[in-house]
Amino acid sequence: MQLNGKTRVLGIFGDPVAHSLSPVMQNQALQQAGINAVYVPFHVPAELLPQAVDSIRSLGLWGVNVTVPHKEAVFPLLDDIDPAARLIGAVNTIVNSQGRLIGYNTDGLGFLRSLAEDLHFNPDGQRILLLGAGGACRAALVSLCQAGASWIGIANRTRSRAEALIQEFREIFPEVSFEHFGIDKEELRRATENIDLLANTSAVGLKGEVFADLPWVGLSKEVAIYDMVYSKTGTPLLQQAMSRGLRASDGLGMLAGQGEEAFTLWTEVRPLEGLMKRCLINELTG
């Protein structure tokens, strides 16, 4: 990488941010594409977010990713918000378009790309159960509805959160059937009847936790399992699914997919296919 007076700057705002794998995959993609730019992490505490966003304009940054805890707080600081990001209620990518800051959310597209590439799964006409009802669930829900899912169930420890999410989106996507559930054994048994995909959008598994009451015996052998959490050794959900011969994937492909979409928004160039995911695998296993 050759830095000079024409090098453009991209980055990621977060707190914490030192653990982020985005610089590794984004810089590899920039180098491979021959683009004179560098991607760097910026540690931005919550109270300094307004100044950090202003710096995108004042320093002429090309754009940034936004990660926790800023994905929602950044909304009022931007000039425009992409419709999908507005529906999701979170921004993870900012593009500096000649001083106008435009917010996007590429998480949903990254999720769909990973479903297609890692599980060969097309949501059109399918029945899908989402575990969790937080921000990642919103991104998945919006993308799945836009991709033609016929039924979406949301199972969450606090059932009222799942219910509120469904009430919000039922009017927006009237062609999709919605249902909410708790996460006890009987509720999950009902929730998983005849589903085509089960996706964990919660943080369960991040520290080795398991969904103790998942009714594995009742699942079809054709069901696909997706875990947005990822780890070096494979999450408990992924391990349980694969031990039962089910096709399954963790969230590494989604991380790469959202990064590819962000890269294209900034540069108007598609990164080399599969490059970002290979970088992530090498970083985790190297």
Strands 177-181 and 63-66 turn out to be: unpaired
**Residue percentage of the chain with pLDDT more than 90:** 91
At residue 206, does pLDDT exceed 80? Answer: no
Is 71 annotated as catalytic? yes
Same fold, 8-105+255-285 and 108-250: yes
Task: Kindly state the average pLDDT of the residues 240-251.
Answer: 95
Bridge pairing between strands 93-97 and 63-66 = antiparallel
Domain 8-105+255-285 has CATH 3.20.20.70: no
Percent of the chain with pLDDT over 70: 100
134-181: pLDDT as tens digits: 999 999 999 999 999 999 999 999 999 999 999 999 999 999 999 999
Q: What are phi and psi of 216, to 5 degrees?
A: -55, -40
Catalytic residue (one of 71, 185, 207, 277): 71
Give the start-to-end residue ranges of the domains of the chain. 8-105+255-285, 108-250
Q: Would the pLDDT of 57 be above 80?
A: yes
Question: Residue 48 in contact with residue 73, Cβ under 8 Å?
Answer: no
- Taking the alpha carbons at both ends of the chain, their separation in whole angstroms is 21
pLDDT of residue 62: 98
Mean pLDDT of 4-27: 96
Which residues fall in the annotated binding site for NADP(+)? Answer: 132-136, 156-161, 228, 251
The CATH superfamily holding the domain 108-250 is: NAD(P)-binding Rossmann-like Domain (3.40.50.720)
Is the per-residue pLDDT at 286 higher than 90? no
pLDDT of residue 231 exceeding 90:
no
CA 23 to chain centre: 17
List residues forming the annotated binding site.
20-22, 67, 92, 107, 132-136, 156-161, 228, 230, 251, 258
Model confidence band, residue 75 (pLDDT cutoffs 50, 70, 90): very high
Q: Which residues are annotated as a binding site for shikimate?
A: 20-22, 67, 92, 107, 230, 258
